[in-house]
Amino acid sequence: MFKIGDYIEFSLPGSDGRVHKTEDYKGKVIVLYTYPKDLTPGCTTQACRFRDLTKEFAELNAVILGLNKDDLQSHEKFINKHQLTFPLLSDVNGELLDKLGAKEGSKVYRNTYVIDEEGELEKIYEQVKASENPDEVLAYLKERKA
């Protein structure tokens, strides 16, 4: 399982038709959030709040990536229904979710990981509240920059 300071290596298909790799984001902060299921109430609340704050995250040199075990077709429906402005990554085998400690059996936890500009794990938010987490992470990034 990854711990603070570890390099977070990933290469996963995204809802935008690209394969997303850690090195694609060198020089940017990655806000990688894991969530149980597309199109469910809590996951929708969290995703829509991240969507609403996308510009503020971008101003802090951060990109948002959602991650769960759903396939790209499910992600596409979720994005279209709620006009999400960031990619959702598909980890159908749960390999990255396992390494992050975001999965137990078939259950995926609502966690958020801040990955620094060099690809190293900087901060972990575990089993967060969907409605509060995006604002909490944004506040952390603002404080980090100050």
Instruction: Express the helix, strand and coil content of the chain in percent, nearest 5 each.
Output: 35, 25, 40
Tell me what pLDDT residue 27 has: 98
**Domain regions of the chain by residue span:** 11-137
Tell me what pLDDT residue 49 has: 98
Does 48 participate in catalysis according to the annotation? Answer: no
d(CA 3, CA 143): 22
- Which residue among 8, 43, 88, 130 is the active-site one? 43
Tell me how far the alpha carbon of residue 144 is from its chain's centroid. Answer: 19
Task: Quick: pLDDT tens for 96-130.
Answer: 999 999 999 999 999 999 999 999 999 999 999 99
Across the chain, mean pLDDT equals 97
- The pTM (predicted TM-score) of the whole model is 0.97
Residue 146 has pLDDT above 90, yes or no: no
Tell me how far the alpha carbon of residue 129 is from its chain's centroid. Answer: 14
Mean pLDDT of 6-23: 97
May I ask the CATH class of domain 11-137? alpha beta
d(CA 97, CA 51): 22
Tell me how far the alpha carbon of residue 5 is from its chain's centroid. Answer: 18
Task: Quick: pLDDT tens for 17-47.
Answer: 999 999 999 999 999 999 999 999 999 999 9
Tell me what pLDDT residue 22 has: 97
Assign 145 a pLDDT band (cuts: 50, 70, 90).
Answer: confident
DSSP states of 15-66: TTSSEEEGGGGTTSEEEEEE-S-TTSHHHHHHHHHHHHTHHHHHHTTEEEEE
